[in-house]
Each structure stands twice: as C-alpha cells, then as structure tokens.
Structure 1
C-alpha cells in the first residue's frame, strides 16, 4: 500500500479514537498524554514521508536531466554520422565520375594514339623518301634511333616511378601520347 493511504487510515483511526473516548477531566493526564504522543508520532512519521518524497522527486529530476543529456549526445552522434555518410556518398559520386572520365579519356587516347602514329609517319615520310633516293653502300646500314633515345626524358621519369599524368605535365606531352610512347617502347623491346 501507498504511504499516503496508511497516513490517511492512521489519521482516521486517531480521529475516531478521539471521538469515541469520553471527555475526561484534566485530572486524567495519562490519557491525554497518550493522545499527544500519538499526535507527535504521526507528525514525525508524516515529516519523514515528506522528506522521502522530496528526495524521490529530486532523484527523478536528476534522472530526467541525465536522460536529456544522453539524448542530446545521441542526437549529436547521429548528426555526425549523417554528415559522414553524406561525405562518403559525395566521394563515391566523384570517384564514379572520375572513372567515367578516365574511361572516356582512355577511349579518346586510342584516337590520340592513332593520330600520333599518323603524325610520326607523316614526319618521317620525307626522310624515308630521301633514304630511298640516296644510294647507300651496303656495308653500313642506316642507324635508326630507338624510341627510348628519342624520348629519353620521358623514360627517365618513368624509370623514377612517376605516373603517366606526372610525366605528361613535366614533359609537356599529352597523356595519351605518353601512354602510346610507353606501349611502343614495350613492343620495341619484345
């Protein structure tokens, strides 16, 4: 049972007891003394219950504050996680776009490579024509520069472990051309 119900019942019993008891003269001190003791005991008991209730209310308020603080921390963490998720999704989209661009550059680099081969043929056509016109003695065959000798700077950078993009920036040659030159050198070696 609730403490308040007990208090009400005890109070009702005390009132009933007081009404039932016949009024006595002031001579009967012990009965009056008993009533005063009971009243003081009830007052003391009610004061203790009130103190306990105040302590309970204070503890509930503390728990409510702690729950609010925990809720705030969780909300903050949730917001941080949502921001991280958004950043990761943005990175993923950017990487997907970069891969798509790289694929289109790779496709266009094939066209650039064909154009480079055509330009090399066009540039070397007069030399080939001259060589055909000149009579060369059979004892000394013409010395042809290898691709590695013509693009020594490019191959030095490649040997240092530089990326194709880095080589293209440093030499001023387009990325597709750098890739083509490296592929031609591999074919030349094999």
Structure 2
C-alpha cells in the first residue's frame, strides 16, 4: 500500500512539472497531459482490482479456517461424548472387581486403558485445533517464559500408552501441579497443552483414583 502511495505522489509531481506555464505552451502540452491522465486512471483501476483480489483471498482463507475449526470442534465434542459413555458403562466407578485367578486384567483396568485411548485421540484433535487457530490469528504470538519447559507433542505423550502404568504415573507433573492448587489454565500454559486435554486427563485420573479406592 505504501508503494502505491509513493507512486501516486511521483505521478502528481511529474504532472506538476510538465504542466504549461503560459498560454503558448497549452496547446503543445495538451496531448502529453492527456496521456498522463489516462495512465493515472489506468493505475487507479489496477490498484482497485488488486485490492479486490486481496480482499477475496482473505475472505476465502477466513472461510476455510472457520470450516476447519468447526470440524475440529465437532470431533472434540464426539470424543467427550465417548468418554462420558465410557464412564457410565464402566463398573469401576463404584467397586472394582478383583482380578481372576487366571491373571486376566480387571474390568476397571480395561476401562482405564480405553479412556487413555480416548484421551490420546482428544489430545490430537485439540492440538490440530490449536494449529488452525494460530494460522488464522497470524501475528501476535509471544515467546514462552524462560522457566517454562515445552511439553512433548500429543503423539509423543501417548505413544507408549499401552506400556505405561496408571494415568497418574504418566501425567505425574500435571497432576502434581493440580494438587498444588494450580488452575487448569495455568497448567495448560505451563505444560503448553490444550485446556480441554488437561481437563480430560484430570477427569480420567479422578476416575482411576476412585477405582483404586
């Protein structure tokens, strides 16, 4: 935009220099002045077309970003519903049954493993939504505090879910911050995680603690 303004100023300055200074020069300089006026009008038309094109591109990008955000939001809602249905269908909330003599895992352990899978999927969806929001907002991002340690990605966090122990063991730092009285927003900022992911982890950890009680 500043280039257009500078070019416009240059055109005006040149027009002022070549304008006739007396009546005798009027007839001689009429044609060059007309050509310059036509060139100036063409320049303004081209500038208007460029502005309209940029506006159209910005509107299309905004529309596509909103569509991606809506899709990610629907995915998160579906995963939360699945987690709620899992809690309702799991018998671990009241009294976990004892393990059988054959060594098979109790029902509450199976429910915990399934809940961990749901959390992994929700974390991936939340991370994708965060990326979409960052792309839509453009500038304005600030650097993280020096004392904050970056958390691993959602895929790395849940890569060894099947080989790990309990939820509280795999998210020990997160649960410890919550026990210290940190808010969900503060924990998410400290660990660079999505607030929805932190809430799901805390809910599953509470269910697991109730199952072991």
State the TM-score, normalized to the length of structure 1.
0.45
State the TM-score, normalized to the length of structure 2.
0.41
Point out the structure with the larger helix share: 1
Q: Which has the larger radius of gyration?
A: 1
RCO greater where, 1 or 2, for CA within 8 Å and sep 6 or more? 2
